[in-house]
Chain A
């Protein structure tokens, strides 16, 4: 199996040198395989989100190395990290993080705006994705008028708009009921079928017990506590 992301003895300390210093990730060594659905499972505060942030180039490790397709990314300047984040990763956040007051369509198109792609072709692609996720009728609605499930589909479209190879989802089912959570896993299956690598942080059994999930990594107190599958 080809590894797309590798972490080597990675450590992340927040507020270093201050009285409120705390170690979020301690000595994590991990490989995430290409075109597989990997779930990071653990209780609240175990370091799942920090691990996703490190992998998604949102934050740098305090020590250790992270490689993306054999390219060392730990020491890259901010500009390159942003570029990687834009082209390689699509993010689905726990709180959806949609921009209020703006339409669902515009929210979904936002990650592609700085690329300078023609507005018309970008809109066409976004509308195609809206169609794919059965929310075309909500494209012109403001995001605050959407239901939880609809809002999440918009965040999924937003994550896919730049056609990334890796999808990172942080507690994606935290605000969804059982039916919507199962629907989300069906969408994940579709992503996998499209050769995407999916990385999910969750402690929801619907996610980590799903047949779609290839691998579950347990995290506790910032350390890897073994893989289940």
Chain B
């Protein structure tokens, strides 16, 4: 075992000296390789984290949301609808929800204003998402001004900022009391934005949804699972788009890497001949080439993964934010919470490190089977 380790160590030692001879060429290869891994891993990390975050937040979301539709558009729903829904067998509770959008001309961003279920926001106070806190530099104790529906200025004090775990949906969120919501938007008190439902048995969800649509034909019913599916589809699609765009870069890299790895120069062939002549076996030459491929590809892979982690989770995917995010109301910047899927990292390893290493070994294997006397002649 000791000899085996020493043999690997000696051969790695020589491989490193050998790689350092062509510093410029190998460093440029390492940079391109790292960049490709950085891009691919960033897309993977971002899409996975955002989906995971969405599913975690929606876990506590109501099982069903009922909205009123008029002429195909979402309208306020009369409170009278609540009683009709409550009477359906299997419905555990019905709650009203008040929410809307507010455009803040100061930063050019849309906020989502919402009245929480339980009145933990006193009148005159608000809770804000991290995105708003960042762009408006507003922290607990500060005040924010809002322009109401009739042109009056309403000043509200920030009570707290929302937790970063829910930043995907809370980045642009303002939690506001019902009284302030009414003052801001001049709401008709007989209706609310939509209704949320909890059911006794989740298996009855579709039956209850069918009954609601029969009793209240002017409503649309949104199930939690549908929202999750939409998130999945949207981010998968966006991730897929990014991968397609990156495919061009990936192809260029493959051509570059194949050319570098597979085309053994006359000098390299001669060196292999020398090594064989001085007593190296074909397997020793292949081992050396294996380490050469591994050193280049593994260090690029690890560096790329680390940079991608920093890129996605510390810089908010600054490089392709406009493509991956661009969620209609998410104008404020938000940071995703780190979630890494090990299986995706392993797949990326097999897609990048293995092909390069194999491409390095095959041509040298052919050269290593040449008679060692070629260097004598």
Residues of A whose CB lies within 8 Å of any CB of B are 49, 52-53, 58-59, 78-79, 82, 85-87, 91, 93-95, 97-103, 106, 110-119, 122, 158, 162, 170
Contact = CB atoms under 8 A, between A and B. Distances in A.
Interface stretch (B8-16, B100-108, B113-121): B8-16
Given A78-B282, A162-B279, A85 B372 contact: yes
Given A79-B281, A102-B21, A119-B6, A114 B274 contact: no
A99 B15 CA distance: 12
Contacts of B28: none
A193 B11 CA distance: 33
Contact of A106 (B17, B275, B279, B282): B17
A98 B3 CA distance: 26
Interface string B111-137: 000000000000000000000000000
Contacts of B371: 58-59
A110 to B, nearest CB: 6
B89 to A, nearest CB: 79
28 contacts: A49-B376, A53-B373, A79-B281, A85-B372, A91-B277, A93-B277, A93-B376, A94-B376, A95-B375, A97-B274, A99-B274, A101-B22, A106-B13, A106-B17, A110-B14, A110-B278, A111-B279, A111-B280, A113-B10, A113-B14, A114-B7, A114-B10, A114-B11, A114-B280, A114-B281, A117-B3, A122-B10, A162-B279
A116 B274 contact: no
Residue among B11, B275, B278 having the largest count of chain A Cβ atoms under 10 Å: B278
Contacts of B7: 113-116
A101 B18 contact: yes
Interface of B: 2-7, 9-11, 13-14, 17-18, 20-22, 267, 271, 274-282, 284, 371-373, 375-377
Residue among A87, A101, A162 having the largest count of chain B Cβ atoms under 10 Å: A101
A99 B282 CA distance: 18
Contacts of B17: 101-103, 106
A100 B20 CA distance: 12
B377 A93 contact: no
A91 B373 CA distance: 11
B377 A110 contact: no
Contacts of B11: 113-114
Contacts of B377: 49
Residue among A112, A113, A116 having the largest count of chain B Cβ atoms under 10 Å: A113
Nearest to A162: B279
Contact of B279 (A49, A82, A116): A82
Contact of B277 (A97, A101, A118): A97
Contacts of B274: 97-99
A187 to B, nearest CB: 18
A170 B373 CA distance: 12
Contact of A158 (B6, B278, B376): B278
B6 A101 contact: no
Q: Which 10 A-B pairs have the closest CB atoms?
A: A86-B279, A101-B21, A116-B3, A116-B7, A58-B373, A113-B10, A53-B373, A114-B284, A111-B278, A59-B373
Contacts of A119: 6, 9-10, 13
Contacts of A162: 279
B185 to A, nearest CB: 74
B375 A82 contact: no
Nearest to A114: B284
Contacts of A114: 7, 10-11, 279-281, 284
B373 to A, nearest CB: 4
Given A106-B14, A110-B14, A85 B376 contact: no
